[in-house]
Amino acid sequence: YNSCIMEPWDGPASIVFTDGKYIGAVLDRNGLRPSRYYITKDDRVIMGSEVGVVDVDPAEIVAKGRLQPGKMFLVDFEEGKMIPDEEIKSEFAAKRPYGEWLKNQRIELNDIDSGKDAPGLNDDNLLQRMQAFGFTAETMQFMLLPIVSEKRDPLGSMGNDAALACLSDKPRMPYDYFRQLFAQVTNPAIDSIREEVIMSLECYIGPEKNLLETTEVHAQRLRLPYPILSNEQLHALKGMDYKGWKSKVIDITFPRSEGIRGVRKTIERICIETQEAIKDGYSLAILSDRALSNDRVPLSTLLASGAVHQYLVRNALRTQIGLVLETGEAREVHHHCLLIGYGADAINPYLAFEALWKARREGLTDPEEFMDDNSLVDAYLKGVAKGMLKVMAKMGISTLHSYKGAQIFEAVGLKNDVIDLCFVGTASRVQGLNLDELAEEMLRRHALGFPSREENRLPVLPNPGEFHWRADGEKHAWNPESISALQVAARTNNFESYKQFSDHINNSTKALCALRGLMSFKSGANGGSIPIEEVEPASEIVKRFCTGAMSFGSISAEAHEGLAIALNRLGGKSNTGEGGEDPARFNPLPNGDSKRSAIKQIASGRFGVTIWYLTNADELQIKVSQGAKPGEGGELPGKKVDENIARIRHSTPGVGLISPPPHHDIYSIEDLAQLIHDLKNANRASRVSVKLVSEVGVGTIASGVTKAKADHIVIAGETGGTGASPLTSIKHAGLPWELGVAETHQTLVLNDLRSRVVLQTDGGLKTGRDVVIAALLGAEEMGFATAPLITMGCIMMRKCHLNTCPVGIATQNKELRKKFNGSPEYVVNYLFMVAEEARQIMADLGFRTINEMVGRVDALEMQEAIDHWKADGIDLSSILTPAEKPHPDVGTYCTESQDHGLEEVLDMKLLELAKPALDDGDAVNIELPIINTDRTVGTILSNEVAKAHGGDLLPEDTVKIKFTGSAGQSLGAFLAKGISIELEGDANDYVGKGLSGGKLAIYPPRSSGFTPEENIIAGNVCLYGATGGKAFFRGHAAERFCVRNSGAYAVIEGVGDHGCEYMTGGRAVILGPTGRNFAAGMSGGVAYIWDPENKFPPKCNMEMVELEKVTDNEDIQELLSLIEEHGKLTGSTVAYGILDDWENALNDFIKVMPTDYKRVLEERKKVEKELVA
């Protein structure tokens, strides 16, 4: 009933409320905030986001609880009691007959009689209509056919190097001028696949009633399970006359003879017609472009629905009618997201259906799978639904109801007149096309399908080369000429050859592939040109260069190691990417080269992130977002996971690996500050970097990241490459780095934060000109990824995601890898030539060092006389505005170090006490109190153990530490083998994060007056990314226990939602209840659940696992020994109870076994048997 009235809100949020009679709290529906409480013997309730905020005698506590996702906590002062969540909600639900009201009033699509037949395939002028609506051969090949065959948003690889829509010579769809926004740092993205349980595309549409009243008629709304309607469903809505509901069809085409003026006239007309429809009592307005013909031009549905929505909002009428679209224009996931995001309620993409039906008749679809037209419609609906959920989830939104009308986009290349008319409130920082120019594009598109002269008619769909380069197609920065020129220059180390490459790239950039192409240098801007000898040498400039983050797994070992050797020779930095790194590479080679990557990346999957990995870094980079797919995780298919990759990532060969979309320990800026603190503890000599992606508002986020004590920030552009990403993300998410760097630099200077942090950019940098522009806009360091791969042989086949790279770079196939003929020299040659070109420009401008140049936008200007009909209206003033200094002494580049406050942490005391173990490996016992401001305890000690004793660390139990009290966040993060922590008390979030062989045991104080197995002892996200070691908890943990566990063995007495999510190794023994969605995305390791009441099976996500009884002798012994150890270390009465009745208790255990993992183990056993035979 409430869904008929209002959309749900997503978190993270923990909201506390009171009216004097009650005090209560509610947690967001996804449980993204910690909320813990104690109840004492004298009837006090103490609640906070952490435990240990108030000192309480353990003997006085009768209960320790937590607020659960979507649940309420209420204290009634008059009654003097706590009211359980179910009781609160039951009381409200019983007040009125909501179920009856829904039954009587709610309208379902099936209730509406469709009457006569809906329109089907009209083959007569299908090609002309497709041409007029902007369909291309690529639309069919790369979008529509893959959507139905794969039932998901199609995948691609490498970055988007095509021209921005506002800089393209070709008429582009209005949708191409928008970029999707995404969550980074301020809230988490959601995994729409593994956490489908919280996602929904269901929506209620039609007139709404007064929000402040509660009546039966509030439930009279039309429920749609999907926002995409079939032709039959739309036909039913057109003819509906049900419970007083009627629909008004409004034509959104205009006479061709009206030309450009027709667009504004039509927008005004349809707004008035919709308003009249409300007055006349219609419940739905259907905006239709079916009247397209030789003489009638369709208004873009995006402009039409956006304008009507905004007009109705302005006139306080929007809630009085539903907006449904009958459109030949919408076909891709991005199109549907924009239409819904700008206010449409439902969409019927009739031409997309007809195009697919025609393809079936031409034999372009699988005849067995698609036997009739309806099966194609179903597959298209599923594919689009999956894609839309993913786009919503990138922003952290879980329901379509919340996404609708939320306008979560930025425009690139639209003037304010368009924004104010159709997209009010949307950022459009570089201006661009006005309404008349968009109208010109609509008329050009229409003329493709309906040319004024018959001889101009095209017999096929055009192929503009938008996705893959074509000789006469859309401009691409990487094309055969630029690739060949770069490879010749890098291999011959010839600066003249490099200049040919550089001139080609710089001219094609100037030929308007990128925003920086519209900029030119002001010669002598820094007091006149200088001799090049006075400019700092190339050998210094190259030290500022890094490679982009490409994981070993996405690219081959040969390519990955080649990049590391090259950058180490230069004194720059290579980046591991998120796949870990082989410890063998940490040692220098006999010839003095080094394969060690200076930058170790910490991404959401935490693959291979051990204390030894973190110790061997000069920079630790937290990848919050990636340019080609911000807000999304990744997936490495099982066929790419060979023995070597599995060993380095702590997983199983042949089993696929999933990276979650968010870091599960970053749901807010405070959480990011905690992770930065954790990593700084793990390696105090390393700088901590945070990688963000350019979008509107990234400057404010970067300010927060700087205050969270990051030493370094990367602003990635949207053109960055990827091993695999949905094409929707490659093409339509993220913004150019020029916008992001300028905004970030300006915001940091304005807040006097710029001197505390190094700023780097990457994403499509290729030449010295790019380097100089990046510095002038505010960056001190520059990242290169695609260009170095091209020097080593990449030919931009865009097959990375298929494991079929013909030059042996983006593949793990042994035969293909033999074709790799790259060399570190080529990368070194190329980057030195880039630096030399940069020096030439610096000399002309009058700058001696990069530091002098940082943020000097006064040395740039907008090119004059731009010969391009679209680029005329572009305004770069927001980028080229000098940063405003609050006072004259404000630094404009990094000159000071962050104060991480590590001198006073508890680990400094531990280092003194553990000195015998560090120096000589002697056993040590330590006992200390602990409080919740003692965060990341044990991590500095682990780092010192790693430095002193190498990758093998120490023998088990060498350093034994006993704490008493409430531990702060990240207790035992990256805890090294040889260190054991025992805690008598309780702990907050992230216990055992990245556990690296250490041991943890947590139990309540012996004097506690509650039953441990019914109470909470640790917070959210325990053992995230653990690679080894053991952990024992006497009590419950909150959400996401053992998320992405790779190798730890854990025993606990109850967990919250999403337990063992994305687990790839190790063991989890749960001696108590679990929350919902257990084992989602679990591809390895084993979980054992004690389930005497048989409540577990419905709570398990069965997509990747199967449930078995524990019958194998090895399993029984393993389970028995873990429970015995749990009892011994924590004194658990649950453990002892099970052991006392072992034969019977064993029958109550369920083994959760990932199917892929099981298959691989069985294949292995088979091979071993054959070898023995």
pLDDT of residue 554: 87
Q: pTM for the full model? A: 0.96
- Other CB atoms within 10 Å distance of the CB of residue 669: 17
Q: Which two tokens stand for residue 374?
A: 């309806």
pLDDT at residue 115 in the model: 61
Q: What are the pLDDT digits (tens) for 480-512?
A: 888 999 999 999 999 999 999 999 898 876 566
Write the DSSP string, 404-445. TT---EEESSB-HHHHHHHSTT-B-TTB-B-HHHHHHHHHHH
Kindly indicate the confidence band of residue 721, based on its pLDDT and cuts at 50, 70 and 90. confident
Amino acid 510: pLDDT: 59
Question: Is 192 a residue whose pLDDT tops 90?
Answer: yes
For residue 58, give the DSSP letter. Answer: G
Per-residue pLDDT tens digits for 293-324: 999 999 999 999 999 999 999 999 999 999 99
Q: Report how far residue 182's alpha carbon sits from residue 143's, in angstroms, rounded to the nearest whole number.
A: 22
Sheet holding 14-18, edge to edge: 14-18, 22-27, 72-76, 81-83
Q: Is the pLDDT score of 906 beyond 80?
A: yes
CATH class, 545-836 region? alpha beta
Rounded average pLDDT over 880-905: 96
- pLDDT at position 868 over 80: no
**Structure-derived torsion over alpha carbons of residues 279, 280, 282, 287, reported in degrees to the nearest 10:** -80
CA angle 525, 430, 545 (to 5 degrees): 55
Q: How does residue 867 score in pLDDT terms, banded at 50, 70 and 90?
A: low
Going by DSSP bridges, is the β-strand pair 245-251/634-636 parallel, antiparallel, or unpaired?
Answer: unpaired
Query: So what's the pLDDT on residue 865?
Result: 53
Query: Can you give the pLDDT at residue 130?
Result: 98
Average pLDDT over residues 829-841: 98
Q: Measured between alpha carbons, how far is 837 from 842 in angstroms, rounded to an integer?
A: 9
Nearest to residue 448, comparing CAs of 226, 747, 656, 137? 137
Q: Is the pLDDT of residue 768 over 80?
A: yes
Both tokens assigned to 912: 């003194």
3-state SS, residue 390 = helix
Residue 250 sits at the vertex; the CA angle it makes with 244 and 256, to the nearest 5 degrees, is 170
| Other C-beta atoms lying within 10 Å of the C-beta of residue 91 | 10
- pLDDT, tens digit, for every residue of 612-643? 999 999 999 999 999 888 889 888 888 889 99
Cβ-contact 958, 924 below 8 angstroms: yes
Residue that is written with structure tokens 């008329």 in the block? 443
For residue range 909-959, list pLDDT tens digits in order: 999 999 999 999 999 999 999 999 999 999 999 999 999 999 999 999 999
Q: Which residues contact 793 (CB under 8 A, 6 or more apart)?
A: 487, 807, 808, 809, 820, 821, 822
H/E stretch holding 505 reads: helix 495-510
State what percent of residues in the chain have pLDDT above 90: 86
Listed by start position, the domains of the chain span 2-95, 122-154+166-456, 545-836, 905-987+995-1003
Strands (E), 289-379: 296-298, 322-326, 346-348
Confidence at residue 759, expressed as pLDDT on a 0 to 100 scale: 99
- Top-level class of domain 122-154+166-456: alpha beta
CB 997 within 8 A of CB 967: no
- The answer for residues whose C-beta is within 8 angstroms of residue 1169's C-beta and 6 or more apart is none
Give per-residue pLDDT as tens, 79-123: 999 999 999 999 999 999 999 999 999 999 999 987 678 999 999
d(CA 971, CA 901): 17
Cα 553 to Cα 607: distance, rounded to the nearest angstrom: 11
Which residues are CB-neighbours of 1076 under 8 A, at least 6 positions away? 197, 1057, 1058, 1099
Query: Model confidence over 783-820: pLDDT tens digits?
Result: 999 999 999 998 888 778 788 889 999 888 889 999 99
pLDDT at 511: 60
- On average, the pLDDT of the chain sits at 95
pLDDT of residue 512: 63
pLDDT at 726 over 90: no
Q: What is the DSSP letter of 163?
A: P
Confidence of residue 454 (pLDDT cuts 50, 70, 90): confident
Residue 652 has pLDDT above 80, yes or no: yes
User: Could you report the per-residue pLDDT of 1098-1128, keeping only the tens digit for each?
Assistant: 999 999 999 999 999 999 999 999 999 999 9
Q: What is the pLDDT of residues 3-52, one digit of tens each?
A: 999 998 888 999 999 999 999 999 998 889 999 999 999 999 999 999 99
Q: What is the pLDDT of residues 420-431, one digit of tens each?
A: 999 999 999 999
Per DSSP, the three-state class of 540 is: helix
Instruction: Give the model's pLDDT for residue 456.
Output: 86
Complete DSSP assignment for 958-1006: SEEEEEEEEE-TTTTTTPBTTEEEEEEEEE-TTTTTT-EEEEEEEE--T
Model pLDDT, residue 472: 78
